[in-house]
Every structure is written in structure tokens, then in C-alpha cells.
Structure 1
Amino acid sequence: MFPTPSADGACRSAADINRMIRRLSAGRARWTPEALGELARLREQWRAAVDRESAPPGGDPR
């Protein structure tokens, strides 16, 4: 079973998503196409969360 996004659609923190990735990959020796797809989806969410959490207050610094 794969981790699912929160039911209320709330944004998860990078730390929460990292825990989901670790649970998905723990002890895994083989990866099905479905599991790889889920990993890719979680990695995209993690990158977005890291960007969101590391953005300076007030938006884009450029």
C-alpha cells in the first residue's frame, strides 16, 4: 500500500514527505512500475515542499 496525500488537501512538510519516502523504500529489494511511479510522485512533492519551505518571506528574491 502506498502513502496517500492528506484527505483535506493540505500541503505536507518536506519532513513528512521524507518519512513517506522512507516508509515506501524501507527494505525494498525490487521495485514495481507502480512503486516507482509512487516514488517519483513523492519526490516531486518533496522538491516542491523544500522549495516552499526555503523560499524567503515575501516570495521570489529576484
Structure 2
Amino acid sequence: MWALLNILVAAFIIFMEFPSYLNAYYKWKYSEEYREWEGKSLEEWYGKQYLKKHQELLKREG
């Protein structure tokens, strides 16, 4: 019975969480494409603190 319950719990977690994990993976892997698709600026997407540390993003954009 415990094995069946463990399988059901695992299937439920995969069914409920997999789309969120997949979406997060693609946003992480292709972040610039998603930023452009959503129409956000560099500051909106990354934040001021991050852009202060990574000036190369501003140079590449401008």
C-alpha cells in the first residue's frame, strides 16, 4: 500500500509541478528572448542592483 501511495504522490507532483518547472527552465535558459517577447526593458527585467553589477548588459543593449 505504501508503494502505491508513493507512486500516486509522485505522479501528482509531476502532473502539478512539471509545467511550472518547464516554464521556469525556459525563462532561465532563454531570458533575453522572453524579455523581448514580454516587452520589458533591461531595468524592469533585471532590476537596478543587477544592472549596476553587470554593466556589459547596458553596453550590449545600447
The interval holding the TM-score normalised by the smaller chain is: 0.3 to 0.5
Compare CA radii of gyration and give the structure with the larger one.
2
Whose helix proportion is higher, 1 or 2?
A: 2
